[in-house]
Structures are given as structure tokens and as C-alpha cells.
Amino acid sequence: MLFKPKDVQQVSNAMMNMLHTEEIEIVNNFHDAVLAKDVDKITELFEVLLYDIEDHFTTEEEMMEESQFYAAQIHKSEHDTLRKKVKDLHEKWQNTKDVDAVKTFLEGEFKSWMVLHVARWDAETAMHLGDSI
């Protein structure tokens, strides 16, 4: 299990918490396939993960726009950085099927990005958006 439920903090917006719960479940399934070195499953779940990340980020960006969050651009640019890294890794996966590269990314950069991003940007955005839990 890459993420235990408590690894990613709750924020004060129910929709964002729901997006995070969904993403953690998908990433954990993907990580299980990586540990099992199941190439077909990794290929299948990579698509699911890409779709889910886009849904997660786009939903937050739309909420920020609607509520005119003052730091929307900085928050979005953090999303863009991760979008690019995941897209690059996906291209590398399609060409090389390098399971270890995916494992290293998930357990290192991806996990720490997620924990820190939620603690820093999502938590602050959620305070601005309201809708407390």
C-alpha cells in the first residue's frame, strides 16, 4: 500500500477530500500492479490514473476560478509540474515497460508531492472555498 488513509491530510472542503480519497485508491491499486510487475495491468491502470489526475486537478482549478482564489495560478502551476512528470513517465513506460522507473517515481516523487501539495496548497484553497467537514 503506497498511501495509508492517514498519509494525506483532510482539508476543509468535502469535494476535495473526495477527490483525494478516490485518487489514493487508484494510486494504491496501480502501485500493487507495479509491485506484482504485472505489465498488462500497469498499462491498463496507468490510463485510469492519468484520467483521474486530470479530473482531480481540473475540478480544483475550476473551483478556484469560480471562487477567485488569490493564489489560483501558483496552485495550478504545481499541478502542471506534476501533470508533465506523469505524462513523461507514461511515455517512457510505453517505450520501455520499465517497472522500476514507475516504482521509483511513485514511492519517491509522487508520494511526497501529493502529501506536501495537499498540506500546502489544497489545505489553503479549501479554507478559502469553505464547505467545512
Q: Within positions 69 to 88, which residues make up the interface with Fe ion, using CB under 5 A?
A: none
Smallest separation (angstroms) from Fe ion to the CB of 129: 12
Q: How far apart are CA 56 and CA 126, in angstroms?
A: 14
Tell me how crowded residue 45 is: count the other CB atoms within 10 A of its CB.
20
Q: How far apart are CA 133 and CA 51, in angstroms?
A: 26
Query: Which string of x and - marks every residue 33-72 that binds Fe ion (by CB under 5 A)?
Result: ---------------------------x------------
Q: Candidates 37-45, 66-74, 91-99, 115-123 — which segment interacts with Fe ion by CB under 5 A?
A: 115-123
Smallest separation (angstroms) from Fe ion to the CB of 111: 14
The answer to whether the CB of 115 falls within 8 A of the CB of 10 is no
Q: How far apart are CA 85 and CA 101, in angstroms?
A: 12
Q: Footprint of Fe ion on this chain (CB under 5 A)?
A: 60, 122
